[in-house]
A and B are shown apart, each in its own frame.
Chain A
Amino acid sequence: MIGTLLLQTLALAIPYVLAALGGVFSERGGVINIALEGMLLTGAFFAALGAHAGGTTLGLVAAVGASAALAGLHGLLCVRFRADHVAAGLGINLLASGLTRFLLMACFDSASNSPMLPGMGQGVLASPMLWGTIILVALSHVALARTPFGLRLRAAGEHPQAAHSLGVPVDRVKICGVIASGALAGLGGAFLALDNHQFTAEMSAGRGYIALAAVIFGKWRPVPVAAACLLFAFADALQIELQAVLSGYKQFVQILPYALTLAVLAGFIGRSRPPAALGAR
């Protein structure tokens, strides 16, 4: 039971980690990203569409492309149009929800789910996406801490005016951060669909918001954020295992990840400091 619990935790963590890494890139650049939810959902749908049309690889490419495009729209609204980041993000989520259901109807003639899809390997340990995710966590850390792009992105999120006066193209750097977040979240969504061998309507089920809570809990740094995601994924896995044991009270068990998110947001964060210009317009 402990073994399956841990394997399940790893599998459930992948979409959280990828979406939350995306959140880090967006928010380190100063753009609040409530839209992670919609990007996961979009990634999941286009992964299903691509995988149905031409196999898993095409699915991954389609997921990353579509989700990055949606993120580009979010970046454009927040950075170029100076829109309110939260309102824009919620609008993006609503768009993703409507558009995926519209396309589900238009492409697969179903209101609820896509046809069955090919998966990737047997079990999570054999999945290339597990190892890919671990590598992406390390790469994200290096990209943010050790590259010119990371330095510029952080400068844009901390003090855009200062960055601008040093010749950093602030708006472009910020939009790149948001697009990177879309690509990563899209990959997370692709894993959701491929791991379930199917796209189902609204299958992101609040994971984008939980990932955002993990970004805050992990203090906007890739490795701690990934660790926070493991915690949420463990709560999720525990919830699934416990449902079998406590079937009469499964509604109470189901709320475990959500209650944990609330508790973490409210209590254990301590002195976490967001990027200074987060949400600035």
Chain B
Amino acid sequence: MRELVAPALAIAVCVLVGNLLILAVGQQPLEVWSVLAAGTWGNGYGIGQVLFKATPLALAGLSVAIALNAGLFNIGAEGQLSLGALATAVVGLALPRSTPWPLALFAAIGAGVIAGAVVGAIPGVLKARFGAHEVIGTIMLNFIVLALINWLVAPGRLAQPESQSTAPVIAAATIPRLSSFVPALGGSAASLAALLAVAVAWLTHFGFRRTTLGYELVAFGLRPAAAEAGGIRAGRVIVVAMALSGGVAGLVGANNVLGYKHYFEAGFSGGIGFMGLAVALLGRNHPLGILLAALLFGTLSQGALAINGVVPKELIDVLQAIVILAVVAASSDVLRRGTR
């Protein structure tokens, strides 16, 4: 039960601050919240859109959680998922049209994961070998990777003539929409990739509980010195954790290309790296918690579009930050009570 104290407190503070801001712009809180609810869980299309928004959030949250379990902050999801998306698109469009779908999906998703893992591993190596702090490292690398992608995705290189996007991937490499199986979702953009997020959540849960590598990561995250004394190699843990975290961030990019856009377009991922941190913290770094937190943030993010006519949609960004701060403040309090 104690695990639920911090999230419950966070949501309470979030509602309180939300009410104050809504009043400050001269609107009625209850009215805004009901518009938000109606635009999200009020109909099939809304529910589908929430799932659509929650999928990348869940994956980004899992990505951050993997690094966080090893005591590392991976704030570089932006760069990792962007290069992941580009790699997915390039492989997906280069495949022969006759490629069977399991192979096409595997190759395209694999390319995204590998690209994300490489971008994630670089700040890991910089930290493990040279002691460069991973927060500054991942953020600097974000700027570098995004500039590189800007150069690569231009007409004459990877982009179509007169555009900032690549050609579409082959049909066999696309992930079908949920609404083609469940008509009630009313043509919303959610795809089967939502199930992929659930699968990755289960995999990370299993990996951390039942594998040697998972044990090493968690042991290092809890007490680095003790773990090293027990024969765990710090450098290896740091690089592997950052690469795994980057790989899952790469999945966010693959999902955007194969499940939604079907091609790569620069600048699609506004701030998802930081949102992943919010999801991981609110979900208490636990896979099931992360899925629930992703649904909540997915609701807020879809709800932002619904309320935009009444209050500025940036309200939702403020609320997400409040959730992080409240969780950060409350969880350490819970921790201290536990050790006393």
Contacts and interface: CB of A to CB of B under 8 A. Distances in A.
Nearest to B331: A83
Contact of A281 (B73, B135, B322, B332): B332
Contacts of B317: 94, 97-98, 101-102
Contacts of A105: 312, 314
Contact of A101 (B24, B133, B314): B314
Interface of B: 21, 24-25, 73, 75, 126, 129-133, 135-137, 139-141, 143-144, 147-148, 150-151, 271, 274, 277-278, 281, 312, 314-322, 324-325, 328-329, 332-333, 336
A266 B130 contact: yes
Nearest to A84: B328
A88 B144 CA distance: 25
Closest 7 CB pairs of A and B: A98-B317, A95-B321, A105-B312, A91-B324, A94-B321, A265-B132, A251-B151
Interface in A172-215: 206, 209-210, 212-213
A94 B316 CA distance: 11
Contact of A94 (B130, B278, B336): B278
A105 B137 CA distance: 32
B143 A91 contact: no
A135 interface: no
B322 A262 contact: no
Given A102-B318, A265-B133, A77 B328 contact: yes
Interface residues of A, number: 44
Contacts of B141: 258, 262
Interface in A230-281: 249, 251-252, 254-255, 258-259, 261-262, 265-267, 269, 281
B333 A95 contact: no
B143 A255 contact: yes
B144 A98 contact: no
B147 A252 contact: yes
A91 B318 CA distance: 10
Contacts of A84: 328, 332
29 contacts: A81-B332, A82-B333, A87-B281, A87-B328, A88-B328, A91-B321, A91-B328, A94-B317, A98-B319, A99-B321, A102-B312, A102-B314, A102-B315, A102-B317, A102-B318, A206-B139, A206-B143, A251-B150, A251-B151, A252-B147, A255-B147, A258-B141, A259-B144, A262-B126, A262-B137, A262-B140, A265-B130, A265-B132, A266-B126
